[in-house]
Structure 1
Amino acid sequence: MLRFVGGVTGLALQILPSGGRSWILRVKIGEKRRDIGLGGYPDVSLAEARDKAREIRSLIEQGIDPIQHRKRQRSALVAEQKRGLTFAVAVERFMKRKAPELSNDKHKEQWFSTLRNYAVPELGDMLVDDITTQDVLLVLKPIWEEKTETASRLRSRIEMVLSWAQANGHRTGDNPAKWGGNLKELLPSPAKIKKVTHRPAVAVADVQAWFASLRKRRDLTARALELLILCCCRSIEVRLSVWEEFDFDRRIWTVPAQRMKTRVEHRIPLTNYAVSLLKAVPHHANSPYVFAAPQGRALHDDDLSGLMRSMHASELKRGTDGWLDPRSGLPAVPHGLRSTFRDWAAENNYPREISEMALAHKTGSDVERAYQRSDLLERRRQQLVSWNEFLHAHPSSSVVEFRRRT
């Protein structure tokens, strides 16, 4: 039952059989009669109902459908609520999407720890739609000159998080973390202030003696490190290698794209030395890994690093200076062995592109790479044969019996 109350044409109190009461405005919109609800009584008073009714009639007089108008307002509110995402939540959601693209747990932790440690404390509680260039600067400025490489990566990662947020409807406008035409004008160029630090490497003059010392060690980790320097690999390429990757007939080791830094499959020519080493490694019954620890797990990165620290310490006990990088004076690390190879290649006049391919580095422009389809495998094989022969040339570099680590 409707009881019209006056004050505004069409305003009525609807009384339901259950006793409930609500305000209704009966109006004509175009050619249709509509009953528009204004809320329940007594939560909405008569005065409030009349005010709402007047607003609706005003919209109709302006040619606006009040029902569609209300729907648009509701949609705008929902959209605004969806955009109401904090930076901290955006980071966590972006991490779930980004994580599968990263090669290993260590890389994932490094990637996300920069956001958690530097950006979230400053921006975490802010809505992504409210973040401005000045807010991003508050994060970057304190570490831009002191930790330039970290800060540069952090800026890129903030930009990616905000780009993801915009693509998902949580923010609008320009990305406040973009470099060109934005932060580039406010911060010094990383190239001008970045202190280039290279991983400490064994000197070319010392590497034969270092290699001879390595070969005297009979444990599994030593063999993994030996393959690393013979093939000029990264640690992850060796540690996670499985037997199926090695074609001993063709003497090729194919490292899958997901384990390569460039995300491109990499073929490594195997020398006689590398083949002999691999064939001497016992197969682990409960593990697919070539260099499987006793429990069947893959070696950790620190297993190889720890071995090099041990080798350095042994030299110090013998009264020598140990295995030091000739430039920095720091003890050499596994990744630095790739620099040792690169220095040797340069000293022996090997073409740059051959050496860079051996290290699985990208060479040339995108256009040049598009036309350079060959990976120059056989030319790289010749280079690795020479490199391996150079490493074995030390008088004390004799073959030792392999003994599995227990």
Structure 2
Amino acid sequence: MADKAIRRPEKALSSRFVDTVDKPGKYFDGQGLFLRVQPNGSRQWVQRITIRGKRREMGLGSPPAITLAAARKMALENRGKAMMGGDPIAERRDARGGLTFEEAMEKYLAAKLHEFRSEKHRKQWASTLTTYALPTLGPKLVAEIDTQDLLKVLQPIWQSKTETAKRLRGRIEAVLSWATVAGHRKGDNPARWKGNLSEILPKPAKVAKTTNQPALAMSDAPRWWRDLQDREGMAAKALQFLTLTAARSGEVRGMTWGEIDFQTGTPATSATIATPETEIQSKGAATSATWTIPASRMKAGRPHRVALTPEAVEILESLPRMDGTEFAFFAPRGGMLSDMSISAVMRRMQEAEAKAGRDGYLDPQSKRPAVPHGLRSTFRQWAAEQGYPRDMAEIALAHFIGSEVERAYQRSDMLERRREMMAAWAAFLRGEAGQDGKVVNLEARA
């Protein structure tokens, strides 16, 4: 009778439904209470509750041990405690004498999030754990989590979402490692890979489906470049700059004016291709302009210098400035330009090609439309075919070169040599190349 006196939604759960449901999902009842059904068939009562202004989730056990009526009673009691300023999660933890995984995760993130490279990385870290780990591990005490608990989390996604599962394992391992050092658990880390989960789960490389980002075919590059230069807008300018520098999208979008040194250099050493009937048209004075990306914004975690060509400098000089923002490529309302806006430029270019009845700009192997990140692959292929040293091309892409010992001895970043390479890359994009693909300096040849 007590249950009937409580006002519930029209589609509240029934005891029969709880006993028979097997379809994965969340099934809500009332008072923040819902039944979570996992793909492996396991079920758990969970309550969403606001405790001292913060929204939390707490597990209430599993049916049939915990009936619908019992779960409702616990949910109502927990809500009452929270409304009176209490913390039912802390009370249960104190009664059990330990720290739950959810609490350990929050403490770990509070201590370590500032070390992550970007806001996007911080959100991904928390989101992955919240989505995949908390439903199973959240209410469990860290001292009680074992390998079987890890398998319940990882096995459902190990084959279908291998990269996500691999990162999830590492993040769970980090949280449990923190919990061990902080004195909340003892013994081996159940999320450890080598000699532990590696003996049960297949190696990620054996099950992951590696898909490279679709790249622009070298034969399409000059035509694509001309098409891009005909497009207006901040995102189109950012894509042009990204292409000329072979940089990552986040590096370009996060660039500030303080990272640019516009110092002028010596006259250009390259010129456009000309026939005997035409005049040689110089691209003007070369520059020693340099873009220095701080370590905090680099994937490798170390500063990176980019040699800017005259074309890249010209793009920067054409950009408007907005009061209140230091970003060179800013969004319409200020702040950083979004990644989707740059991708949208390439998507619209491809759509225009398809509308005109042409194949457009497709990856030569996958036949998928090229994307901004794939332009780095196009540059890398071009550099290899032109015979540029491997290390120089890899440094231009801000990749790690060789072993730690080799990097310790490789102190030079070949900036000036890379400046010549990037000038040749810009000339290639303009279509100014001979039959062998190399830029021809007619003035020097004369």
Q: TM-score over 0.5 for the alignment?
A: yes
Bigger mean CA offset, 201-210 vs 287-296? 287-296
1:93 aligns with 2:107: yes
- Specify the alignment match of 2:66 in structure 1: none
- Specify the alignment match of 1:266 in structure 2: 304
1:115 aligns with 2:129: yes
Q: Runs ≥4 in structure 1, deviation > 6 angstroms? A: 79-83
The answer to whether the 8 Å contact 2:159/2:207 transfers is yes
1:130 aligns with 2:168: no
Deviation at 1:197, TM superposition (A): 1.0
Q: 1:279 to 1:121 in 2, by over 3 A?
A: same
The answer to whether the 8 Å contact 1:82/1:170 transfers is no
CA distance in 2, matches of 1:189, 1:385: 43
- Specify the alignment match of 1:370 in structure 2: 408
Cα deviation digits, residues 195-214 of structure 1 (max 9, x gap)? 11111111111111111111
- Specify the alignment match of 1:333 in structure 2: 371
Bigger Cα Rg:
1
Deviation at 1:82, TM superposition (A): 9.9
Deviation at 1:308, TM superposition (A): 1.2
1:285 aligns with 2:297: no
Kindly report which structure 2 residues correspond to 1:148-167, keeping only aligned pairs within 5 A, or say none: 148-167=162-181
- Specify the alignment match of 1:350 in structure 2: 388
Deviation at 1:110, TM superposition (A): 2.2
- Specify the alignment match of 1:9 in structure 2: none
CA distance in 2, matches of 1:329, 1:277: 31
Match of 1:389, SS state, is: helix
Deviation at 1:282, TM superposition (A): 2.0
Match of 1:267, SS state, is: strand
The counterpart of 2:117, out of the listed 98, 103, 107, is 103
The answer to whether the 8 Å contact 1:212/1:394 transfers is no
Tell me the matched-pair count.
Answer: 317
1:253 aligns with 2:304: no
- Specify the alignment match of 1:242 in structure 2: 256
Kindly report which structure 2 residues correspond to 1:132-281, keeping only aligned pairs within 5 A, or say none: 132-249=146-263, 250-281=288-319
The answer to whether the 8 Å contact 1:230/1:388 transfers is yes
Read off the aligned partner of 2:365 and give its amino acid letter: R
CA distance in 2, matches of 1:203, 1:98: 42
Select the structure with the greater relative contact order (CA < 8 A; seq sep ≥ 6). Answer: 1
Read off the aligned partner of 2:341 and give its amino acid letter: D
CA distance in 2, matches of 1:394, 1:383: 14
Deviation at 1:294, TM superposition (A): 3.2
CA distance in 1, matches of 2:205, 2:330: 41
The answer to whether the 8 Å contact 1:255/1:267 transfers is yes
Cα deviation digits, residues 291-332 of structure 1 (max 9, x gap)? 123322220111101111111111111111222212222222
Q: 1:160 to 1:208 in 2, by over 3 A?
A: same
TM-score, normalised with respect to structure 2: 0.68
Kindly report which structure 2 residues correspond to 1:386-401, keeping only aligned pairs within 5 A, or say none: 386-393=424-431
Deviation at 1:81, TM superposition (A): 7.5
Read off the aligned partner of 1:391 and give its amino acid letter: L
CA distance in 1, matches of 2:432, 2:237: 18
CA distance in 2, matches of 1:92, 1:212: 50
The answer to whether the 8 Å contact 1:131/1:176 transfers is yes
Unpaired runs of at least 5, structure 1: 1-78, 396-406
Unpaired runs of at least 5, structure 2: 1-92, 264-287, 434-446
The answer to whether the 8 Å contact 1:323/1:332 transfers is yes
Match of 1:221, SS state, is: helix
- Specify the alignment match of 1:74 in structure 2: none
TM-score, normalised with respect to structure 1: 0.75
Q: 1:394 to 1:83 in 2, by over 3 A?
A: farther
The answer to whether the 8 Å contact 1:324/1:331 transfers is yes
Read off the aligned partner of 1:116 and give its amino acid letter: T
Q: 1:109 to 1:339 in 2, by over 3 A?
A: same
Read off the aligned partner of 1:289 and give its amino acid letter: F
CA distance in 2, matches of 1:251, 1:143: 47
Read off the aligned partner of 1:348 and give its amino acid letter: Q
CA distance in 2, matches of 1:342, 1:235: 16
CA distance in 1, matches of 2:341, 2:223: 21
Read off the aligned partner of 1:182 and give its amino acid letter: N
Match of 2:336, SS state, is: coil
CA distance in 2, matches of 1:245, 1:170: 44
The answer to whether the 8 Å contact 1:269/1:377 transfers is yes
The answer to whether the 8 Å contact 1:241/1:290 transfers is yes
Deviation at 1:80, TM superposition (A): 8.7
Cα deviation digits, residues 217-268 of structure 1 (max 9, x gap)? 1211111110001001111111111111111114111011111111101000
CA distance in 1, matches of 2:172, 2:205: 20
The answer to whether the 8 Å contact 2:331/2:338 transfers is no
Q: 1:83 to 1:198 in 2, by over 3 A?
A: farther
CA distance in 1, matches of 2:138, 2:102: 4
Cα root mean square deviation, aligned: 1.9
CA distance in 2, matches of 1:205, 1:108: 39
Deviation at 1:192, TM superposition (A): 2.1
Deviation at 1:102, TM superposition (A): 2.3
